[in-house]
Structure 1
Amino acid sequence: MMDTSHGNEDYTVALYEASLNGTVSTLDTLLQRDRLILHKISLTSFTETPLHISSLLGHLEFTNALLRRKPQLVEKVDSSGRTALHLACAEGHTHVVKALLQANMDMCLVSDQEERIPLHLAAMRGHVKVIKELLIAHPRSISRVNLYGDNVLHLCVQYNCLDALKLLVESVNDEDFVNSKDNDGNSMLHLAVMLGQMKTIEYLLSIPELKRKAIAKNRIGNMTALDVSETCHRDFKYLKIQDILQAAGVRRSKDLNSPLLPASHDEEAQSAQPIIEHLERHGNWILLFVSVG
């Protein structure tokens, strides 16, 4: 056991090391020597609490020990506005998530600096079991959006988490939600096409509520999903995607009003620019296949 005889500063360091290792016996010893040690966390220079660390690392026993002694820790946020629940959800620690939810289910609705709630982080990593627990705790959290107007469905597409996407779509029988758009007017289908996710595209077009509105246009270029596909890299995959879209009845924006001639190269280059700008704004999640050459 580490030496904790050099005052409160040493006790604090020992507490954080115990949270890293998940050593409950050390926590018990520290509390015997200073019963207020968990109340002094806010006086330290650390931006995370020991609960953040134990939740991030999946130390269930240590997490439960902290929650028994100071349940208010579940409400604390780090420098990015994330609670311990955010971190446990991001890492897929289902049992830790359950413990944190038992302490305070309302933490499901706390958003970080990018307006992401724990459900968003679980969806971005495709943690299906965690998503189920969060939906049981707070079903309405499914409608929350982040800073870019992305809801949990958009994030599943952006991070290519098809199993999580299927679970969420099946959990909510809501046509408006399935067809919801981000701040740039992109539907799930627009995003899947931008990313060249053929399996996701096929799945989305199998959803009757979405297929009925598959010709929807976005706001960044007034484009349908087929328009978007034609601004992307010209390879076999995108030719196949165009075939899939056309077979499902998806049309070009210009063809919704009149049968015009195909766009020129300059027109295609111009139409691709809004998509490039959109993807640059979302640069933390995407590598673009866009090319106009």
Structure 2
Amino acid sequence: MNDGGDDIVDLYNASASGCTTTLKNLINKDPHILHKISLTPFSETPLHISALLGHLDFTKTLLAQNPRLASELDYHERSPLHLASAEGHIEIVQAQLHAFEDACLILDQDGNIPLHYAAMRGRVDVMKKLIVVRPDSTQVVLRGKETLLHLCVKYNQLEPLKLLVESTSENGHFLNSKNSEGGNTILHLAVTLKQIETVKFLLSVDKVKEEVNSLNKKDSTALKMLEDYPKDFNSFAIRNMLLDASARVEKVNNASESIEITQSRNKWWRKWWKHLKYQGDWATENRGSIMIVATMITTLTCQQTANPPGDIWQQGGYVLMSEKDNYTVFAGTSVVGSYDVGSYVVFMVFNAISFIASVIVTFLLISGFPTKNKFCMGLLTIALCTTLAFLVITYLVAIYMVISSSEYFNYKVYELTQKGVLGSLAAVIVLVFLIRLIRILVWVGRKIKKPIPT
């Protein structure tokens, strides 16, 4: 029993290597070994393997010893002829047809016959052999009522298509048959796939050209289907071919024209909205840069607290500022704060706000908060705007503290400069606020329009 099992293994190894000598030795040892293949657990026969790999002499020897192997099927319900046809081994195909020509019409589990595999792989010589033996194999319909012609177009096999069309050029019904999926002819399919050479060939066939305005299940001609797809060079080339073949141009109805006009009018708005649209990843991409800016602002505000504008008193004591004003000062306190308390307090308050806001930004970034969350991004935006706004105001107060005591100080010039800076700042803040407001209103509008599930 073990010897028989070893012989079967040797048989399959020989079929893979194509060793005819080993095959003959095994047959001499056990004349019935080829009839015992059906008792093995293997789904493929040695003939399947040799046919697939193109071992011609081995295949002929197998068929001479047991012609019935040509009708055996593997677990995909494919015969050895299916495999040889797909690989283009024409002599092996011929040998199998001589042994069992009805294998031409065997359907595998996908509904394909050997001719279909030859067409899918562009094996024109094999197709000719199969058609000569069984001309009716060209009429076998695939699943979905697709013909062999549809299959050639689907796999972009022009030469096999030419072979089939030329052999059935007078059969208009076959050439213009429609599949069940969309009711498309081969011309519909070729136009959809934008196969320029295929379309050019099909329109040269009279029976196909006569049905250039054939409708599919959506009442669309080939030209109408082409118009519904994105335009490129192939589209324009195919469109010209169809028009030259008297393809009918469908008129656009008033409703479509109205939609088109509305879309063109709203095009500018979509372009602007593209730039206003919320981009949740900008903080993630620029996290490092934001962290550096926030840290620098924190450091700057700390330095301004320790060393305010106008410097600090190095020594304490009694200071005479003018004939009427004199002060008692303390070492380490602000010089300006000794005689202009109001400006100093305003400076410190605004500086503190900028400091706190920058610290908040830093905490948000290092805490790993979700940058794609709109609420968190809104909080980060507010903190950043607050930091920068009060930093600018602090700068203006610092200028006033430093130069207000100078005899060359011109309050009107300072006031004009202050209004210019604050006006620019206000404009930027208002712009940011409007952008945020528009985003919120659009978001709320979409939520309101969204249908409530029942």
TM-score (norm 2): 0.54
**For 1:34 and 1:181, how far apart are their aligned partners in 2?**
54
Q: Give the one of 34, 39, 45 matched to 2:35.
A: 39
8 Å contact kept, 1:41–1:49:
yes
Tell me what 1:122 maps to: 118
Change (3 A) 1:109 1:183: same
**For 1:170 and 1:262, how far apart are their aligned partners in 2?**
44
Tell me what 1:56 maps to: 52
**Residue 26 in 1 paired to residue 19 in 2?**
no
Structure 1 gaps, min length 5: 268-293
The one-letter amino acid paired with 1:25 is T
Tell me what 1:290 maps to: none
CA RMSD of aligned residues (A): 2.0
Q: Give the one of 206, 213, 223 matched to 1:215.
A: 213
**For 1:149 and 1:179, how far apart are their aligned partners in 2?**
12
**Residue 250 in 1 paired to residue 247 in 2?**
yes
Tell me what 1:278 maps to: none
**For 2:259 and 2:223, how far apart are their aligned partners in 1?**
18
**For 1:159 and 1:265, how far apart are their aligned partners in 2?**
40
Identity %: 46
Q: Give the one of 3, 6, 13 matched to 1:17.
A: 13
8 Å contact kept, 1:18–1:26:
yes
Partner deviation per Cα, 1:197-242 (whole Å, 9 max, x = no partner):
00000100010001001111112x2221112212223212112222
SS of residue matched to 2:216:
coil
Name segments (4+ residues, structure 1) moved above 3 Å: 258-267
**For 1:167 and 1:150, how far apart are their aligned partners in 2?**
17
SS of residue matched to 1:7:
helix
8 Å contact kept, 1:120–1:151:
no
Q: Give the Å deviation of 1:247.
A: 2.0
Tell me what 1:274 maps to: none
The one-letter amino acid paired with 1:65 is T
Change (3 A) 1:226 1:75: same
The one-letter amino acid paired with 2:123 is H
Change (3 A) 1:42 1:93: same
Change (3 A) 1:265 1:101: farther
**For 1:101 and 1:33, how far apart are their aligned partners in 2?**
29
**For 2:239 and 2:158, how far apart are their aligned partners in 1?**
20
Tell me what 1:270 maps to: none
**Residue 238 in 1 paired to residue 235 in 2?**
yes
- Structure with higher Rg: it is 2
Point out the structure with the larger helix share. 2
Task: Number of aligned residue pairs: give it.
Answer: 258
8 Å contact kept, 1:187–1:218:
yes
Tell me what 2:163 maps to: 167
SS of residue matched to 2:36:
helix
The one-letter amino acid paired with 1:178 is L
Change (3 A) 1:168 1:263: farther
**For 1:169 and 1:46, how far apart are their aligned partners in 2?**
40
**For 1:233 and 1:239, how far apart are their aligned partners in 2?**
11
Tell me what 2:222 maps to: 225
Q: Give the Å deviation of 1:265.
A: 11
Tell me what 1:197 maps to: 195
Tell me what 2:437 maps to: none
Give the number of the structure with larger relative contact order, counting CA–CA contacts within 8 Å between residues 6 or more apart: 1
**Residue 143 in 1 paired to residue 136 in 2?**
no
**For 1:228 and 1:44, how far apart are their aligned partners in 2?**
53
Partner deviation per Cα, 1:55-100 (whole Å, 9 max, x = no partner):
1111111111000111000001111111011111111111111001
